[in-house]
Amino acid sequence: MDNQTQAAETVAGLAVPTDWPACSIEQAQALLCAPDTKFEMETVTIRGVRTRVWKHALGSLPELARHARNHGDHTFTIHEDERISYESWFRATRALAAELAAMGIGKGDRVGLAMRNLPEWPVAFFAVTSLGAIIVPLNAWWTGAELAYGLKDSGARALICDAERWDRIGPEANGLPDLKHVLVCRGDAAPDAPARRLEDLIGTPDRYPGLPEGDLPDADLAPDDPATIFYTSGTTGNPKGALGTHRNILTNILSSAFSAARACLRRGEVPPAPTPKVMLTIIPLFHVTACNAGLMGGIFAGHTMVFMPKWDVVKAFQIIEREKVNTTGGVPTIAWQLIEHPDRTKYDLSSLEAIAYGGAPSAPELVRKIKQVFGALPGNGWGMTETSATVTSHSAEDYLNRPDSCGPPVAVSDIKIMAPDGGRELPVGEVGELWARGPQIVTGYWNNPEATAETFVDGWIRTGDLARVDAEGFCYIVDRAKDMIIRGGENIYSSEVENVLYEHPAVTDAALVGIPHRTLGEEPAAVVHLAPGESVSEEELKAWVRQRLAIFKTPVRILFSGETLPRNANGKIVKTELKPLFETEQA
Protein backbone atom coordinates (compact mmCIF):
# COMPACT_ATOMS: atom_id res chain seq x y z
CA MET A 1 0.00 0.00 0.00
CA ASP A 2 1.07 3.54 -0.67
CA ASN A 3 2.27 5.42 2.40
CA GLN A 4 0.69 8.60 1.16
CA THR A 5 -2.93 9.54 1.52
CA GLN A 6 -4.93 9.70 -1.69
CA ALA A 7 -6.75 12.82 -2.89
CA ALA A 8 -8.96 13.74 0.04
CA GLU A 9 -12.36 15.03 0.91
CA THR A 10 -13.49 16.26 4.31
CA VAL A 11 -15.63 14.30 6.75
CA ALA A 12 -16.43 16.21 9.94
CA GLY A 13 -13.26 18.21 9.55
CA LEU A 14 -10.98 15.25 8.87
CA ALA A 15 -9.27 14.70 5.54
CA VAL A 16 -10.40 11.31 4.30
CA PRO A 17 -9.19 9.57 1.12
CA THR A 18 -11.80 9.69 -1.63
CA ASP A 19 -11.71 5.91 -1.82
CA TRP A 20 -12.01 5.49 1.95
CA PRO A 21 -12.22 2.96 3.37
CA ALA A 22 -9.30 1.51 1.50
CA CYS A 23 -10.23 -1.96 2.79
CA SER A 24 -12.96 -3.66 4.76
CA ILE A 25 -12.67 -4.62 8.41
CA GLU A 26 -12.25 -8.26 7.34
CA GLN A 27 -9.53 -7.42 4.81
CA ALA A 28 -7.61 -5.32 7.34
CA GLN A 29 -7.75 -8.13 9.86
CA ALA A 30 -6.60 -10.71 7.31
CA LEU A 31 -3.59 -8.57 6.39
CA LEU A 32 -2.62 -7.78 9.96
CA CYS A 33 -3.12 -11.27 11.36
CA ALA A 34 -1.46 -13.27 8.59
CA PRO A 35 1.09 -15.95 9.57
CA ASP A 36 4.48 -14.66 10.76
CA THR A 37 3.10 -11.19 11.52
CA LYS A 38 3.04 -9.25 14.77
CA PHE A 39 -0.68 -9.88 15.19
CA GLU A 40 -0.68 -13.56 14.27
CA MET A 41 -3.23 -15.56 16.25
CA GLU A 42 -3.39 -19.12 17.49
CA THR A 43 -6.03 -21.16 19.30
CA VAL A 44 -5.42 -22.49 22.81
CA THR A 45 -7.60 -24.07 25.46
CA ILE A 46 -8.46 -21.77 28.37
CA ARG A 47 -10.50 -23.31 31.18
CA GLY A 48 -11.78 -25.95 28.77
CA VAL A 49 -12.75 -23.50 26.01
CA ARG A 50 -10.91 -23.20 22.70
CA THR A 51 -9.95 -19.53 22.44
CA ARG A 52 -8.15 -17.35 19.88
CA VAL A 53 -5.19 -15.54 21.39
CA TRP A 54 -2.36 -13.30 20.21
CA LYS A 55 0.41 -15.76 19.41
CA HIS A 56 3.18 -13.33 20.29
CA ALA A 57 1.69 -11.89 23.48
CA LEU A 58 3.89 -11.79 26.56
CA GLY A 59 3.22 -14.59 29.00
CA SER A 60 3.34 -12.81 32.37
CA LEU A 61 3.62 -9.40 34.01
CA PRO A 62 7.23 -10.01 35.09
CA GLU A 63 8.08 -10.57 31.42
CA LEU A 64 6.58 -7.17 30.66
CA ALA A 65 8.60 -5.56 33.45
CA ARG A 66 11.83 -7.07 32.14
CA HIS A 67 10.97 -5.90 28.62
CA ALA A 68 10.26 -2.39 29.90
CA ARG A 69 13.63 -2.24 31.64
CA ASN A 70 15.17 -2.11 28.17
CA HIS A 71 13.84 1.45 27.88
CA GLY A 72 16.63 2.34 30.32
CA ASP A 73 16.97 6.00 31.22
CA HIS A 74 13.92 7.06 29.21
CA THR A 75 11.41 8.77 31.48
CA PHE A 76 8.60 6.48 32.62
CA THR A 77 6.56 8.62 35.03
CA ILE A 78 6.29 12.33 35.72
CA HIS A 79 4.52 13.53 38.86
CA GLU A 80 4.93 17.24 39.52
CA ASP A 81 8.74 17.67 39.76
CA GLU A 82 9.46 13.94 40.12
CA ARG A 83 10.77 12.17 37.02
CA ILE A 84 11.33 8.43 37.22
CA SER A 85 13.17 6.51 34.51
CA TYR A 86 12.31 2.97 33.46
CA GLU A 87 15.55 1.67 35.01
CA SER A 88 14.81 3.44 38.31
CA TRP A 89 11.26 2.08 38.35
CA PHE A 90 12.55 -1.45 37.73
CA ARG A 91 15.06 -1.15 40.59
CA ALA A 92 12.34 0.04 42.97
CA THR A 93 10.05 -2.76 41.80
CA ARG A 94 12.74 -5.37 42.40
CA ALA A 95 13.53 -3.93 45.83
CA LEU A 96 9.89 -3.90 46.93
CA ALA A 97 9.36 -7.43 45.62
CA ALA A 98 12.25 -8.60 47.79
CA GLU A 99 10.79 -6.86 50.84
CA LEU A 100 7.37 -8.41 50.24
CA ALA A 101 8.91 -11.84 49.79
CA ALA A 102 10.69 -11.40 53.14
CA MET A 103 7.28 -10.75 54.71
CA GLY A 104 6.11 -14.10 53.38
CA ILE A 105 4.05 -12.78 50.47
CA GLY A 106 4.05 -15.33 47.68
CA LYS A 107 2.11 -16.99 44.92
CA GLY A 108 -1.63 -16.65 45.29
CA ASP A 109 -1.55 -14.18 48.21
CA ARG A 110 -3.66 -11.06 47.79
CA VAL A 111 -2.18 -7.59 48.29
CA GLY A 112 -4.34 -4.47 48.31
CA LEU A 113 -3.23 -1.30 46.49
CA ALA A 114 -4.98 1.94 47.39
CA MET A 115 -3.52 5.28 46.34
CA ARG A 116 -3.73 8.14 43.92
CA ASN A 117 -1.87 7.99 40.60
CA LEU A 118 1.64 8.21 42.00
CA PRO A 119 5.04 6.86 40.86
CA GLU A 120 4.71 4.28 43.64
CA TRP A 121 1.57 2.80 42.03
CA PRO A 122 3.26 0.92 39.14
CA VAL A 123 6.11 -0.02 41.49
CA ALA A 124 3.67 -1.73 43.85
CA PHE A 125 1.64 -3.29 41.04
CA PHE A 126 4.59 -5.03 39.41
CA ALA A 127 6.37 -5.90 42.67
CA VAL A 128 3.32 -7.83 43.86
CA THR A 129 2.60 -9.58 40.56
CA SER A 130 6.27 -10.49 40.03
CA LEU A 131 5.94 -12.76 43.06
CA GLY A 132 2.91 -14.53 41.63
CA ALA A 133 0.77 -12.77 44.23
CA ILE A 134 -2.55 -11.20 43.25
CA ILE A 135 -2.76 -7.40 43.25
CA VAL A 136 -6.07 -5.88 44.37
CA PRO A 137 -6.30 -2.26 43.12
CA LEU A 138 -8.98 -0.53 45.21
CA ASN A 139 -11.00 2.53 44.29
CA ALA A 140 -9.16 5.41 45.94
CA TRP A 141 -12.42 7.37 46.12
CA TRP A 142 -14.06 4.80 48.37
CA THR A 143 -14.78 5.50 52.02
CA GLY A 144 -12.91 3.65 54.76
CA ALA A 145 -15.72 1.12 55.10
CA GLU A 146 -15.78 0.50 51.35
CA LEU A 147 -12.00 0.05 51.22
CA ALA A 148 -12.16 -2.29 54.19
CA TYR A 149 -14.81 -4.35 52.41
CA GLY A 150 -12.48 -4.87 49.42
CA LEU A 151 -9.60 -5.87 51.68
CA LYS A 152 -11.73 -8.26 53.72
CA ASP A 153 -13.53 -9.80 50.74
CA SER A 154 -10.26 -10.47 48.91
CA GLY A 155 -8.56 -11.76 52.05
CA ALA A 156 -5.65 -9.39 51.49
CA ARG A 157 -2.59 -10.25 53.60
CA ALA A 158 -0.88 -6.95 52.84
CA LEU A 159 -1.80 -3.42 51.81
CA ILE A 160 0.24 -0.77 50.02
CA CYS A 161 -1.41 2.65 50.20
CA ASP A 162 -0.83 6.36 50.50
CA ALA A 163 -1.34 8.23 53.75
CA GLU A 164 -4.70 9.64 52.71
CA ARG A 165 -6.11 6.15 52.14
CA TRP A 166 -4.59 4.83 55.39
CA ASP A 167 -6.31 7.61 57.32
CA ARG A 168 -9.59 6.13 56.05
CA ILE A 169 -8.70 2.45 56.41
CA GLY A 170 -6.86 2.61 59.74
CA PRO A 171 -9.98 2.91 61.90
CA GLU A 172 -11.36 -0.20 60.17
CA ALA A 173 -8.19 -2.29 60.57
CA ASN A 174 -9.42 -4.24 63.60
CA GLY A 175 -12.05 -5.82 61.38
CA LEU A 176 -9.43 -7.13 58.94
CA PRO A 177 -7.95 -10.25 60.55
CA ASP A 178 -6.15 -11.36 57.37
CA LEU A 179 -4.29 -8.06 56.97
CA LYS A 180 -0.81 -8.60 58.43
CA HIS A 181 1.34 -5.98 56.68
CA VAL A 182 0.66 -2.34 55.74
CA LEU A 183 3.07 -0.09 53.83
CA VAL A 184 2.17 3.60 53.67
CA CYS A 185 3.75 6.22 51.42
CA ARG A 186 3.65 10.01 51.31
CA GLY A 187 2.83 10.55 54.99
CA ASP A 188 3.99 13.54 57.03
CA ALA A 189 4.74 11.31 60.00
CA ALA A 190 5.34 7.65 60.71
CA PRO A 191 2.01 5.80 60.65
CA ASP A 192 0.63 3.95 63.65
CA ALA A 193 1.21 0.19 63.91
CA PRO A 194 0.75 -2.14 62.12
CA ALA A 195 1.61 0.23 59.30
CA ARG A 196 5.16 1.08 58.22
CA ARG A 197 6.57 3.70 55.91
CA LEU A 198 7.15 2.43 52.37
CA GLU A 199 10.01 4.90 52.09
CA ASP A 200 11.86 3.11 54.92
CA LEU A 201 12.06 0.03 52.70
CA ILE A 202 12.79 1.39 49.22
CA GLY A 203 13.36 5.10 49.72
CA THR A 204 11.62 8.06 48.12
CA PRO A 205 11.31 8.16 44.31
CA ASP A 206 14.34 10.45 43.96
CA ARG A 207 16.43 7.67 45.55
CA TYR A 208 15.25 4.90 43.22
CA PRO A 209 18.26 5.33 40.85
CA GLY A 210 20.61 4.38 43.70
CA LEU A 211 18.85 1.12 44.58
CA PRO A 212 20.81 -2.09 43.86
CA GLU A 213 20.67 -3.72 40.46
CA GLY A 214 19.23 -7.19 40.07
CA ASP A 215 16.45 -9.19 38.51
CA LEU A 216 12.93 -9.96 39.62
CA PRO A 217 12.34 -13.28 41.37
CA ASP A 218 11.46 -16.36 39.34
CA ALA A 219 7.85 -17.06 40.27
CA ASP A 220 7.30 -19.78 37.61
CA LEU A 221 4.16 -18.17 36.20
CA ALA A 222 1.86 -19.37 33.44
CA PRO A 223 -0.31 -17.05 31.29
CA ASP A 224 -3.53 -18.22 32.93
CA ASP A 225 -2.34 -17.87 36.52
CA PRO A 226 -4.30 -15.27 38.53
CA ALA A 227 -2.81 -11.77 38.68
CA THR A 228 -5.45 -9.17 39.57
CA ILE A 229 -8.71 -8.60 41.40
CA PHE A 230 -10.48 -5.43 40.25
CA TYR A 231 -13.74 -4.69 42.04
CA THR A 232 -16.69 -3.99 39.81
CA SER A 233 -19.89 -2.22 40.77
CA GLY A 234 -22.89 -4.38 40.04
CA THR A 235 -26.56 -3.55 40.42
CA THR A 236 -27.28 -5.69 43.45
CA GLY A 237 -25.39 -6.49 46.61
CA ASN A 238 -21.78 -5.60 47.27
CA PRO A 239 -19.09 -5.00 44.64
CA LYS A 240 -17.72 -8.19 43.14
CA GLY A 241 -14.04 -8.95 42.65
CA ALA A 242 -13.24 -9.84 39.02
CA LEU A 243 -10.34 -12.33 39.09
CA GLY A 244 -8.06 -11.65 36.13
CA THR A 245 -5.07 -13.57 34.81
CA HIS A 246 -1.75 -12.50 33.34
CA ARG A 247 -3.12 -13.36 29.88
CA ASN A 248 -6.27 -11.29 30.51
CA ILE A 249 -4.39 -8.08 31.26
CA LEU A 250 -1.55 -8.52 28.74
CA THR A 251 -3.95 -9.16 25.85
CA ASN A 252 -4.61 -5.41 25.85
CA ILE A 253 -1.11 -4.58 24.61
CA LEU A 254 -1.54 -6.18 21.21
CA SER A 255 -5.26 -5.37 21.08
CA SER A 256 -4.50 -1.64 21.30
CA ALA A 257 -1.71 -1.90 18.74
CA PHE A 258 -3.94 -3.91 16.43
CA SER A 259 -6.69 -1.30 16.60
CA ALA A 260 -4.28 1.49 15.69
CA ALA A 261 -2.87 -0.53 12.79
CA ARG A 262 -6.36 -1.37 11.53
CA ALA A 263 -7.24 2.34 11.42
CA CYS A 264 -4.16 2.99 9.29
CA LEU A 265 -5.04 0.25 6.81
CA ARG A 266 -8.60 1.54 6.58
CA ARG A 267 -7.10 4.90 5.60
CA GLY A 268 -4.86 3.29 2.99
CA GLU A 269 -1.63 3.84 4.91
CA VAL A 270 1.04 1.46 6.11
CA PRO A 271 1.04 1.36 9.95
CA PRO A 272 4.07 3.30 11.19
CA ALA A 273 6.73 1.83 13.42
CA PRO A 274 5.86 2.36 17.10
CA THR A 275 7.54 5.32 18.78
CA PRO A 276 7.45 6.43 22.43
CA LYS A 277 4.77 8.99 23.20
CA VAL A 278 3.91 11.22 26.12
CA MET A 279 0.61 10.35 27.80
CA LEU A 280 -1.26 12.57 30.24
CA THR A 281 -2.92 9.92 32.41
CA ILE A 282 -5.90 11.51 34.08
CA ILE A 283 -8.18 8.65 35.01
CA PRO A 284 -7.22 6.61 38.08
CA LEU A 285 -5.06 3.54 37.63
CA PHE A 286 -7.47 1.49 39.74
CA HIS A 287 -9.73 1.43 36.67
CA VAL A 288 -9.04 -1.27 34.07
CA THR A 289 -9.11 1.38 31.34
CA ALA A 290 -6.13 3.21 32.81
CA CYS A 291 -4.28 0.16 34.13
CA ASN A 292 -4.95 -2.65 31.67
CA ALA A 293 -5.41 -0.65 28.47
CA GLY A 294 -3.24 2.38 29.26
CA LEU A 295 -0.43 1.40 31.61
CA MET A 296 0.31 -1.99 30.04
CA GLY A 297 0.61 -0.68 26.48
CA GLY A 298 2.49 2.38 27.67
CA ILE A 299 5.10 0.32 29.48
CA PHE A 300 5.55 -2.01 26.54
CA ALA A 301 6.07 0.87 24.09
CA GLY A 302 8.22 2.99 26.40
CA HIS A 303 5.75 5.84 26.71
CA THR A 304 6.11 8.56 29.32
CA MET A 305 3.11 8.78 31.65
CA VAL A 306 2.35 12.10 33.32
CA PHE A 307 0.28 11.92 36.52
CA MET A 308 -1.71 14.80 37.99
CA PRO A 309 -2.29 14.96 41.76
CA LYS A 310 -5.74 16.40 41.09
CA TRP A 311 -7.59 17.18 37.87
CA ASP A 312 -7.40 20.84 36.91
CA VAL A 313 -8.02 21.98 33.34
CA VAL A 314 -5.55 24.87 33.34
CA LYS A 315 -2.83 22.71 34.90
CA ALA A 316 -3.56 20.12 32.22
CA PHE A 317 -3.03 22.79 29.55
CA GLN A 318 0.28 23.72 31.18
CA ILE A 319 1.41 20.09 31.28
CA ILE A 320 0.42 19.46 27.66
CA GLU A 321 2.39 22.51 26.55
CA ARG A 322 5.44 21.85 28.76
CA GLU A 323 5.74 18.08 28.24
CA LYS A 324 4.52 18.03 24.62
CA VAL A 325 1.80 15.55 25.50
CA ASN A 326 0.65 13.40 22.57
CA THR A 327 -2.36 11.57 24.01
CA THR A 328 -4.83 12.09 26.80
CA GLY A 329 -8.46 11.52 27.66
CA GLY A 330 -10.16 8.95 29.82
CA VAL A 331 -13.83 9.90 29.95
CA PRO A 332 -15.89 12.33 27.85
CA THR A 333 -15.94 14.82 30.73
CA ILE A 334 -12.22 15.46 30.31
CA ALA A 335 -12.51 16.09 26.57
CA TRP A 336 -15.39 18.52 27.04
CA GLN A 337 -13.52 20.51 29.68
CA LEU A 338 -10.41 20.76 27.51
CA ILE A 339 -12.53 21.99 24.59
CA GLU A 340 -14.70 24.49 26.43
CA HIS A 341 -12.30 26.15 28.87
CA PRO A 342 -11.86 29.86 27.99
CA ASP A 343 -8.08 29.73 28.56
CA ARG A 344 -7.51 27.00 25.99
CA THR A 345 -6.18 29.33 23.30
CA LYS A 346 -3.50 30.69 25.64
CA TYR A 347 -1.54 27.43 25.42
CA ASP A 348 0.27 25.52 22.71
CA LEU A 349 -1.63 22.25 22.52
CA SER A 350 -0.47 21.32 19.03
CA SER A 351 1.38 18.21 20.27
CA LEU A 352 -1.93 16.43 20.91
CA GLU A 353 -2.45 13.59 18.45
CA ALA A 354 -5.30 11.65 20.05
CA ILE A 355 -7.96 12.07 22.69
CA ALA A 356 -9.55 8.77 23.59
CA TYR A 357 -12.10 7.83 26.21
CA GLY A 358 -14.54 5.21 27.35
CA GLY A 359 -16.58 4.36 30.40
CA ALA A 360 -19.44 6.76 29.76
CA PRO A 361 -21.82 7.72 26.96
CA SER A 362 -20.57 10.48 24.69
CA ALA A 363 -22.33 12.84 22.31
CA PRO A 364 -21.56 12.59 18.56
CA GLU A 365 -20.82 16.32 18.73
CA LEU A 366 -17.80 15.59 20.92
CA VAL A 367 -16.31 13.27 18.31
CA ARG A 368 -16.28 16.04 15.72
CA LYS A 369 -15.10 18.78 18.07
CA ILE A 370 -11.97 16.87 19.11
CA LYS A 371 -10.73 16.99 15.52
CA GLN A 372 -11.96 20.48 14.78
CA VAL A 373 -10.54 22.09 17.94
CA PHE A 374 -7.30 20.16 18.49
CA GLY A 375 -6.60 18.52 15.14
CA ALA A 376 -6.41 15.29 17.14
CA LEU A 377 -8.00 11.95 16.35
CA PRO A 378 -10.89 10.90 18.57
CA GLY A 379 -11.10 7.40 19.94
CA ASN A 380 -13.24 5.25 22.17
CA GLY A 381 -14.09 1.63 22.77
CA TRP A 382 -16.09 -0.73 24.87
CA GLY A 383 -15.08 -2.99 27.68
CA MET A 384 -15.79 -3.60 31.32
CA THR A 385 -13.97 -4.74 34.41
CA GLU A 386 -14.87 -8.34 33.61
CA THR A 387 -13.32 -8.05 30.13
CA SER A 388 -10.05 -6.60 31.47
CA ALA A 389 -10.73 -3.48 29.35
CA THR A 390 -10.74 -3.55 25.55
CA VAL A 391 -13.15 -5.71 23.54
CA THR A 392 -14.13 -3.21 20.84
CA SER A 393 -12.13 -0.24 19.63
CA HIS A 394 -13.14 2.79 17.57
CA SER A 395 -11.02 5.63 16.21
CA ALA A 396 -10.19 8.02 13.39
CA GLU A 397 -12.40 8.01 10.27
CA ASP A 398 -14.45 5.05 11.44
CA TYR A 399 -15.38 6.90 14.60
CA LEU A 400 -16.16 10.12 12.77
CA ASN A 401 -18.47 8.26 10.41
CA ARG A 402 -20.11 6.22 13.18
CA PRO A 403 -19.96 8.52 16.22
CA ASP A 404 -22.69 6.57 18.04
CA SER A 405 -20.81 3.25 17.80
CA CYS A 406 -18.13 1.81 20.10
CA GLY A 407 -16.48 0.08 17.15
CA PRO A 408 -15.91 -3.50 16.02
CA PRO A 409 -14.23 -6.11 18.21
CA VAL A 410 -10.49 -6.63 18.10
CA ALA A 411 -9.34 -9.70 16.18
CA VAL A 412 -9.08 -12.07 19.16
CA SER A 413 -12.56 -11.20 20.42
CA ASP A 414 -16.11 -12.02 19.38
CA ILE A 415 -19.37 -10.34 20.25
CA LYS A 416 -22.94 -11.41 19.68
CA ILE A 417 -26.41 -10.12 20.49
CA MET A 418 -28.58 -12.55 22.39
CA ALA A 419 -32.27 -12.76 23.21
CA PRO A 420 -33.13 -11.90 26.84
CA ASP A 421 -33.34 -15.56 27.82
CA GLY A 422 -29.89 -16.24 26.36
CA GLY A 423 -31.29 -19.01 24.21
CA ARG A 424 -30.70 -17.64 20.72
CA GLU A 425 -28.56 -15.16 18.85
CA LEU A 426 -30.41 -12.24 17.29
CA PRO A 427 -29.88 -11.11 13.69
CA VAL A 428 -28.00 -8.02 12.56
CA GLY A 429 -29.66 -4.79 13.66
CA GLU A 430 -31.81 -6.21 16.44
CA VAL A 431 -31.34 -5.04 20.02
CA GLY A 432 -30.57 -7.61 22.70
CA GLU A 433 -28.05 -8.41 25.40
CA LEU A 434 -24.41 -8.05 24.40
CA TRP A 435 -22.27 -11.14 24.97
CA ALA A 436 -18.50 -11.13 24.48
CA ARG A 437 -15.66 -13.65 24.51
CA GLY A 438 -11.91 -13.68 24.06
CA PRO A 439 -8.65 -14.16 25.96
CA GLN A 440 -9.29 -11.03 28.03
CA ILE A 441 -12.42 -12.36 29.77
CA VAL A 442 -11.69 -12.87 33.48
CA THR A 443 -11.98 -16.26 35.15
CA GLY A 444 -14.97 -15.20 37.23
CA TYR A 445 -15.84 -13.47 40.48
CA TRP A 446 -13.66 -13.99 43.53
CA ASN A 447 -15.32 -16.39 45.98
CA ASN A 448 -18.70 -15.95 44.29
CA PRO A 449 -19.53 -19.10 42.31
CA GLU A 450 -23.22 -18.24 41.98
CA ALA A 451 -22.57 -14.87 40.30
CA THR A 452 -19.83 -16.46 38.20
CA ALA A 453 -22.15 -19.18 36.90
CA GLU A 454 -24.82 -16.61 36.09
CA THR A 455 -22.50 -14.27 34.18
CA PHE A 456 -19.90 -16.49 32.48
CA VAL A 457 -21.15 -19.15 30.04
CA ASP A 458 -18.79 -21.38 28.03
CA GLY A 459 -16.19 -18.64 27.57
CA TRP A 460 -18.77 -15.91 26.96
CA ILE A 461 -19.67 -13.12 29.36
CA ARG A 462 -23.24 -11.90 29.60
CA THR A 463 -22.56 -8.17 29.89
CA GLY A 464 -25.98 -6.91 30.89
CA ASP A 465 -25.67 -4.18 28.24
CA LEU A 466 -28.30 -3.83 25.55
CA ALA A 467 -26.76 -3.39 22.12
CA ARG A 468 -27.01 -4.03 18.41
CA VAL A 469 -24.42 -4.89 15.77
CA ASP A 470 -24.51 -3.69 12.17
CA ALA A 471 -23.64 -5.66 9.04
CA GLU A 472 -19.95 -4.71 9.24
CA GLY A 473 -19.61 -5.78 12.85
CA PHE A 474 -19.71 -2.35 14.50
CA CYS A 475 -21.29 -2.43 17.95
CA TYR A 476 -23.78 0.13 19.28
CA ILE A 477 -24.55 0.21 23.00
CA VAL A 478 -28.21 1.12 23.29
CA ASP A 479 -28.84 0.94 27.02
CA ARG A 480 -27.92 -0.96 30.15
CA ALA A 481 -30.10 -3.84 31.14
CA LYS A 482 -28.94 -3.37 34.70
CA ASP A 483 -29.62 -0.30 36.76
CA MET A 484 -26.05 0.90 36.40
CA ILE A 485 -25.32 4.60 36.38
CA ILE A 486 -21.96 5.72 34.97
CA ARG A 487 -21.00 9.21 36.09
CA GLY A 488 -17.92 10.44 34.27
CA GLY A 489 -16.51 6.92 34.10
CA GLU A 490 -17.35 5.99 37.70
CA ASN A 491 -19.80 3.13 38.16
CA ILE A 492 -22.66 3.64 40.59
CA TYR A 493 -25.02 0.80 41.33
CA SER A 494 -28.48 1.87 42.33
CA SER A 495 -29.21 -0.60 45.09
CA GLU A 496 -26.28 0.61 47.21
CA VAL A 497 -27.47 4.23 47.21
CA GLU A 498 -31.10 3.19 47.62
CA ASN A 499 -30.20 1.08 50.66
CA VAL A 500 -28.51 4.07 52.28
CA LEU A 501 -31.57 6.21 51.62
CA TYR A 502 -33.77 3.50 53.14
CA GLU A 503 -31.65 3.64 56.29
CA HIS A 504 -32.88 7.17 56.94
CA PRO A 505 -35.78 7.00 59.41
CA ALA A 506 -37.96 9.33 57.32
CA VAL A 507 -37.67 7.37 54.04
CA THR A 508 -39.99 4.48 53.21
CA ASP A 509 -39.54 4.28 49.42
CA ALA A 510 -36.53 5.18 47.27
CA ALA A 511 -35.23 4.73 43.73
CA LEU A 512 -32.07 5.94 42.00
CA VAL A 513 -32.06 6.75 38.29
CA GLY A 514 -29.52 8.21 35.88
CA ILE A 515 -30.29 11.59 34.39
CA PRO A 516 -28.41 12.89 31.33
CA HIS A 517 -25.45 15.20 31.75
CA ARG A 518 -23.72 16.77 28.78
CA THR A 519 -20.15 16.10 29.88
CA LEU A 520 -20.40 13.42 32.57
CA GLY A 521 -22.74 11.25 30.50
CA GLU A 522 -25.18 10.87 33.36
CA GLU A 523 -25.57 11.64 37.04
CA PRO A 524 -27.43 9.92 39.88
CA ALA A 525 -30.77 11.32 40.97
CA ALA A 526 -33.27 9.92 43.43
CA VAL A 527 -36.99 9.90 44.05
CA VAL A 528 -38.12 9.20 47.61
CA HIS A 529 -41.40 8.80 49.48
CA LEU A 530 -41.45 9.75 53.15
CA ALA A 531 -43.26 8.08 55.99
CA PRO A 532 -46.46 9.82 57.12
CA GLY A 533 -45.70 12.73 59.40
CA GLU A 534 -41.97 12.68 58.66
CA SER A 535 -40.00 15.48 57.01
CA VAL A 536 -36.46 15.85 55.72
CA SER A 537 -34.91 18.26 53.24
CA GLU A 538 -33.15 17.43 50.00
CA GLU A 539 -29.84 18.73 51.37
CA GLU A 540 -30.19 16.67 54.55
CA LEU A 541 -30.67 13.49 52.50
CA LYS A 542 -27.70 14.34 50.27
CA ALA A 543 -25.54 14.80 53.37
CA TRP A 544 -26.85 11.48 54.73
CA VAL A 545 -25.62 9.67 51.60
CA ARG A 546 -22.39 11.63 51.40
CA GLN A 547 -21.41 10.59 54.93
CA ARG A 548 -21.84 6.91 54.10
CA LEU A 549 -20.68 6.52 50.49
CA ALA A 550 -18.09 7.97 48.14
CA ILE A 551 -19.09 11.49 47.15
CA PHE A 552 -19.58 10.65 43.46
CA LYS A 553 -22.44 8.33 44.45
CA THR A 554 -24.42 11.15 46.09
CA PRO A 555 -27.60 12.05 44.15
CA VAL A 556 -27.35 15.46 42.53
CA ARG A 557 -31.14 15.87 42.81
CA ILE A 558 -33.68 14.30 45.12
CA LEU A 559 -37.37 14.64 44.41
CA PHE A 560 -40.13 13.85 46.88
CA SER A 561 -43.17 11.84 45.84
CA GLY A 562 -46.42 12.16 47.71
CA GLU A 563 -47.32 8.60 46.74
CA THR A 564 -45.40 5.35 46.95
CA LEU A 565 -43.30 4.82 43.86
CA PRO A 566 -44.81 3.02 40.83
CA ARG A 567 -44.24 -0.74 40.70
CA ASN A 568 -44.88 -3.51 38.22
CA ALA A 569 -46.67 -6.78 38.84
CA ASN A 570 -43.54 -8.27 40.37
CA GLY A 571 -43.28 -5.46 42.88
CA LYS A 572 -40.27 -3.82 41.22
CA ILE A 573 -40.15 -0.06 40.93
CA VAL A 574 -40.76 1.10 37.36
CA LYS A 575 -37.88 3.52 36.93
CA THR A 576 -38.84 4.49 33.40
CA GLU A 577 -41.75 6.40 34.95
CA LEU A 578 -39.41 8.29 37.28
CA LYS A 579 -36.88 9.75 34.85
CA PRO A 580 -39.45 12.06 33.20
CA LEU A 581 -40.06 13.68 36.61
CA PHE A 582 -36.65 15.32 36.39
CA GLU A 583 -37.35 16.58 32.86
CA THR A 584 -40.59 18.15 34.08
CA GLU A 585 -38.83 19.66 37.09
CA GLN A 586 -36.12 21.23 34.91
CA ALA A 587 -38.69 22.57 32.46
The tens digit of pLDDT for each residue in 272-297 reads: 988 999 999 998 999 999 999 999 99
Query: How do strand 460-469 and strand 456-457 relate by DSSP bridges?
Result: antiparallel
Higher pLDDT, 32 or 362: 32
Q: Do domains 8-56+242-480 and 61-221 have the same CATH topology?
A: yes
Burial grade of 387 (CB within 10 A; 0-12, 13-18, 19 or more): buried
Q: Where are the domains of the chain?
A: 8-56+242-480, 61-221, 484-586
If you average pLDDT over every residue of the chain, what do you get? 91
- Helix, strand and coil in the chain, % to nearest 5: 35, 30, 40
With cut-offs at 50, 70 and 90, classify the pLDDT of residue 12: very low
Q: Using CA atoms, how far apart are residues 95 and 140, in angstroms rounded to an integer?
A: 25
Question: Could you tell me the CATH superfamily of domain 8-56+242-480?
Answer: ANL, N-terminal domain (3.40.50.12780)
pLDDT > 70 in the chain, percent: 93
DSSP code of residue 190: P
Q: What is the pLDDT of residues 343-356, one digit of tens each?
A: 999 999 999 999 98
User: Which pLDDT value is given to residue 540?
Assistant: 97
Among the listed ranges 66-75, 316-325, 351-360, 466-475, which one has the minimum average pLDDT value? Answer: 351-360
Over residues 395-421, the mean pLDDT reads 93
Half-sphere exposure of residue 164: CA atoms within 13 angstroms, side-chain side: 11
- 10: three-class secondary structure by DSSP: strand
pLDDT at 572: 63
Amino acid at 480: R
Residue 492 has pLDDT above 80, yes or no: yes
Q: What is the pLDDT of residue 348?
A: 97
Least-confidence region, from 104-108, 280-284, 482-486, 552-556: 482-486
Instruction: Find the helix or strand (DSSP H, E) in which 453 lies.
Output: helix 449-455
Share of the chain above pLDDT 90, in %: 74
pLDDT tens-digit readout, 442-466: 999 999 999 999 999 999 999 988 8
Q: In the predicted model, is pLDDT for residue 2 greater than 50?
A: no
**Among 52-61, 376-385, 469-478, 559-568, where is mean pLDDT lowest?**
559-568
The whole-angstrom separation of Cα 248 and Cα 359 is 19
Is pLDDT at 569 greater than 70 in this prediction? no
Q: Is 497 in a helix, a strand, or coil?
A: helix
- The DSSP output letter for 409 is B
Domain covering 61-221 in this structure, CATH number: 3.40.50.980
What is the arithmetic mean of pLDDT over 214-241?
Answer: 87
CA distances from 166 to 191, 197, 444 (A): 8, 11, 29
**507-517: strand order across its sheet:** 507-517, 521-530, 557-560
- The model's pLDDT over 182-225, given as tens digits with 9 standing for 90+, comes to 999 999 888 887 899 999 999 999 999 999 999 999 999 999 99
Region of residue 44 (left: phi > 0; alpha: psi -120 to 50; beta: else)? beta
110: confidence class by pLDDT, cuts 50, 70, 90: very high
Q: pTM of this prediction?
A: 0.85
Q: What are phi and psi of 260, to 5 degrees?
A: -65, -40
Model pLDDT, residue 574 = 80
What's the CATH number of domain 484-586, 3.30.300.30, 3.40.50.1820, 3.30.470.10, 1.10.1040.10?
3.30.300.30
